[in-house]
Amino acid sequence: MGLTLTAATASAGCDAIVDLLDVGSGTAQMTICESDNTVLSTHNLNDPAFAAASSGVATANTISDATASATGTAAKCRWYDKDALLTFEGTVGTSGADINLNSVSISSGVTVSIEGGDGGGTVTLPLS
């Protein structure tokens, strides 16, 4: 049997995870990558990177637009703290992924935009 967390406990745990992005002296970033970790675009994150969690869900603050540096198929997102240390990673798709884009086909030189809210980066620590 697994643990069941209260909303307050799940939120505290979620905040502890996303607050790791705010550690360091540079700018926290999120990259959109192919499945082999080839970076397609690099996006700067706000400080703080995420708003306070509610019921175990933290939503990313505004994620900057970026110009794609390579052409490929987006498959994952990788989140780095201010010292450029990988903190966590997730999926990229057109729906139901951690980051949802209009298309996973990215061409070098195009602007890649990440929308806020449910399409633009949430971290969830489930209650059960």
In a domain, 1, yes or no: no
CA-based nearest residue to 40, from 13, 67, 6: 67
- pLDDT tens readout for residues 24-36: 999 999 999 999 9
Cβ neighbours around 37 below 10 Å, total: 11
In a domain, 2, yes or no: no
- Could you tell me whether strands 86-93 and 99-100 are parallel, antiparallel, or unpaired per DSSP bridges? parallel
CA angle 123, 127, 128 (to 5 degrees): 120
Total domains, the chain: 1
pTM for this entry: 0.91
Q: Which domain holds residue 88?
A: 7-124
Residue 40: partners with Cβ closer than 8 Å, 6 or more residues away:
31, 32, 33, 34, 68, 69, 70, 71, 72, 74, 106, 112
In a domain, 110, yes or no: yes
- pLDDT tens readout for residues 38-75: 999 999 999 999 999 999 999 999 899 999 999 999 99
In a domain, 88, yes or no: yes
- pLDDT tens readout for residues 84-102: 999 999 999 998 888 889 9
